[in-house]
Amino acid sequence: MNIPGKALSRRSILKATALAMPAAALLAATGASAQTGKASGRPELALTKPIKLSGNTVLITGGGTGIGRGLAEQMHKLGNKVIIASRRRDVLAATAAEFPGMELMTLDVRDPEGVRRFAADIIQRFPDLNVVFNNAGIMRRENLLDQQADLADAHNTVETNLNGPIRLTAALLPHLQTKAQSIIVNTSSGLGFVPLVPRPTYCATKAGMHSYTVSLRHQLRNTNTRVFEIAPPGVQTELMAGQSRNPNYMPLPQFIEETMAQFRQDPPPVELLVERVWVLRLAEREGRFDAAVDALSGAA
């Protein structure tokens, strides 16, 4: 654990909140190089064609709060027509009211028939739709030795985080393929690369979202649809209660700024990863996976 500066004791590492563990602490806990996530170890993940970030019609699920709201605000500022969607109309209305011209639509991605109706409706109302952010997600703590009889938390997590984006993508892809340029952006998580043990189904869905996104990108590589992935670290949102007030988590404005800066690159990387998440992204590649799992689980 040779990190420049003061060495971190095991006690100080375990005091960190698991998902919010500062990058330096996780580096120290797993024996990673101080250069992890920088040019020495980062794979090249660049597209061969630029994208257009203004003048689009953009759908963002989970757009009323957290990362979705931050992305909606930035896409709105860039001169795009933005539609935000989620189950909670009151939250959507509060967000849309702050940004003149932003539209809202209710959507429960867990409902297959509802997703099909939503897709038909949004295409009819906004025929220029060409950008989709699959961002809606939930996280639940689960004790696998004392599970609910109906596995309700696990079921809802899978339906929201994995099946939902797959459903919506399938419903909208034929329309997106008719556009000169279309974009799909899927939100996974740093925990899709190194799981946080008390949140097993969440981590599994995010690993699945990463794998699905890779396959989708390859299948669409010869079309006009570009596929990106956002894999956040711990960010100050209310994904978990109190998370937005935890000083160890990455401030939401900083996360959005770093993410959008990568999106504006010409061309942008296919994985829009902030510096803080690379310690998780490369853990398995660098032989630190087991240590990283232990460190996150101990901190939890």
For residue range 265-291, what is the model confidence (pLDDT) as tens digits? 988 999 999 999 999 999 999 999 999
Q: What is the mean pLDDT of residues 185-211?
A: 96
| pLDDT over 50 at 216, yes or no | yes
Task: State pLDDT tens for residues 82-95.
Answer: 999 999 999 999 99
Please work out, in degrees rounded to the nearest 5, the angle formed at the alpha carbon of residue 233 by the alpha carbons of 230 and 239: 90
Q: How far apart are CA 138 and CA 202, in angstroms?
A: 7
Task: State pLDDT tens for residues 130-184.
Answer: 999 999 998 888 888 888 888 999 999 999 999 999 999 999 999 999 999 999 9
Return the number of other C-beta atoms located less than 10 Å from residue 93's C-beta. 12
Compare 224 and 241 and report the one with higher pLDDT: 224
Q: What is the pLDDT of residue 5?
A: 33
Which residues are registered as beta bridge partners of 229? 186, 271
Q: What is the pLDDT of residue 192?
A: 97
Task: State pLDDT tens for residues 90-131.
Answer: 999 999 999 999 999 999 999 999 999 999 999 999 999 999
Q: What is the pLDDT of residue 280?
A: 95
Q: Are strands 129-134 and 103-106 parallel, antiparallel or unpaired?
A: unpaired
Q: What is the mean pLDDT of residues 189-200?
A: 95
| pLDDT over 80 at 239, yes or no | no
**Structure tokens, 169:** 């993508």
The confidence band for 6, taking pLDDT boundaries of 50, 70 and 90, is very low
Q: What is the pLDDT of residue 39?
A: 40
Let me know: does 183 contact 129? Beta carbons within 8 Å. Answer: no
**Cα 283 from chain centre:** 18
Q: What is the pLDDT of residue 234?
A: 84
DSSP state of 159: I
**Structure tokens, 210:** 């990463």
Residue among 177, 283, 293, 289 at smallest CA distance from 225: 177
Q: How far apart are CA 49 and CA 224, in angstroms?
A: 10
The owner of tokens 């996360």 is 255
Q: How far apart are CA 252 and CA 274, in angstroms?
A: 12
Residues 6 or more apart in contact with residue 42 via CB below 8 angstroms: 278, 282
Q: Is 287 left (phi over 0), alpha (psi -120 to 50) or beta?
A: left
Selecting among 133, 202, 228, 263, the annotated active-site residue is: 202
Q: What is the pLDDT of residue 13?
A: 34
Q: What is the pLDDT of residue 143?
A: 87
Q: Is 217 helix (H, G, I), strand (E, B) or coil?
A: helix
Burial class of 188 by CB neighbour count within 10 A (0 to 12, 13 to 18, 19+): buried
Q: Is domain 10-299 annotated with CATH 3.30.500.10?
A: no
Q: What is the pLDDT of residue 45?
A: 58
Q: How far apart are CA 34 and CA 297, in angstroms?
A: 22
The letter for the amino acid at 200 is: P
The owner of tokens 């500066």 is 5
Q: What is the pLDDT of residue 274?
A: 95
Q: What is the pLDDT of residue 38?
A: 45
**Cα 19 from chain centre:** 14
Number of helices (H) and strands (E), helices first, in the chain?
Answer: 11, 7
Q: How far apart are CA 286 and CA 26, in angstroms?
A: 14
What share of the chain in percent tops pLDDT 70? 80
Task: State pLDDT tens for residues 25-72.
Answer: 555 555 555 445 444 445 555 555 778 999 999 999 999 989 999 999
249 given a catalytic annotation? no
| pLDDT over 80 at 10, yes or no | no
Q: How far apart are CA 279 and CA 172, in angstroms?
A: 34
| pLDDT over 80 at 248, yes or no | no
Average model confidence (pLDDT) across the chain: 85
